[in-house]
A = this chain, B = another copy of it.
Amino acid sequence: MNNTNFYAAEQDFKVAVDCIIFGFDAGDLKLLLVKRDFPPCAGEWSLVGGFLRLDENLDQAAERVLRDYTGIEKVYMEQLMAFSEVNRDPGGLVVSAAYFALMDIRDYNHQVQNAVWCPVDKAPPLIFDHDRMVKKALGRMRRRASNCPVGFNLLPDEFTLPVLQQLYEKIFGFEMDKRNFRKKIQGMNILVNTGRKDHSTSKKGAFIYSFDEKKYKEMLESGYNPNFFSINYNGR
């Protein structure tokens, strides 16, 4: 006896996941896109995606898709929402759960030949409702970045403050004052200065920092919630 029989009269759908995978490189916020090599819409640009299988939940499906396309297991990932317009996919009755992921682009090891990192603001039109998904993901990323230090997921373990500021400017879409940025981020007490300098972008060299995740978690546990970038919940 199949356990689906209680609802046998209901309509069947395929369930997909589509991943909006963000990276940061060369001062640009980028998106992993693939040229579809199967119908429908073969040859067009698309998010990376796949279908939900019997023995996994959506999170696991998204992780699998990410692994298949990037070779990476552990990245920051979170579900956005389900997309379900009628006929959204001309290939069939498909409801798709969109996920957004943040990864260090340097961890990417070219697994798939037709996948490309593309600056978000120069992305080509995407198939189906994928442009809507990207828009949604950008909004969600901004909100997350306002509340939690998720930005570090887009950077290597070590980075300089100018680079970190560049990243946040790209995420939020506006320029920030250097002094205010540094005051704020350093006041949070979650960065460690390695004492080393990176001279790749200036003669003087910029100090290299790392994100102290342990300190951050302790801080959270002790009930203090640092407010990133002008979002205050004022201690509740």
Cα distance A14–B52 when bound, in Å? 12
Q: Is the CB of B6 within 8 A of A92?
A: yes
**How many residues does chain A have at the interface if contact means C-beta atoms less than 8 Å apart?**
46
Give the chain B neighbours of A57 by CB distance below 8 A.
84-86
Cα distance A51–B4 when bound, in Å? 13
**Closest beta carbon of chain B to A137's beta carbon, Å:** 13
Give the chain B neighbours of A12 by CB distance below 8 A.
12-14
Q: Is the CB of B3 within 8 A of A91?
A: yes
Chain A contact residues, majority secondary structure? loop
Q: Is the CB of A11 within 8 A of B82?
A: no
Q: A8, A12, A234: which has the most chain B beta carbons within 10 Å?
A: A12
Q: How many copies of this kind of chain does the complex include?
A: 2
Which A17-65 residues have C-beta < 8 A from chain B? 39-40, 51-59
Cα distance A146–B147 when bound, in Å? 13
Give the chain B neighbours of A58 by CB distance below 8 A.
82, 84, 95
Q: Is the CB of B15 within 8 A of A13?
A: yes
- Residues 96-124 of chain A: 1 if any B CB is under 8 Å from the residue's CB, otherwise 0? 01000000000000000000000000000
Cα distance A10–B53 when bound, in Å? 8
Residue of B nearest to A39 (CB): B6
Cα distance A79–B106 when bound, in Å? 34
Contact residues of A with B, CB < 8 Å? 3-8, 10-15, 39-40, 51-59, 79-82, 84-86, 90-95, 97, 146, 172, 174, 230-234, 236
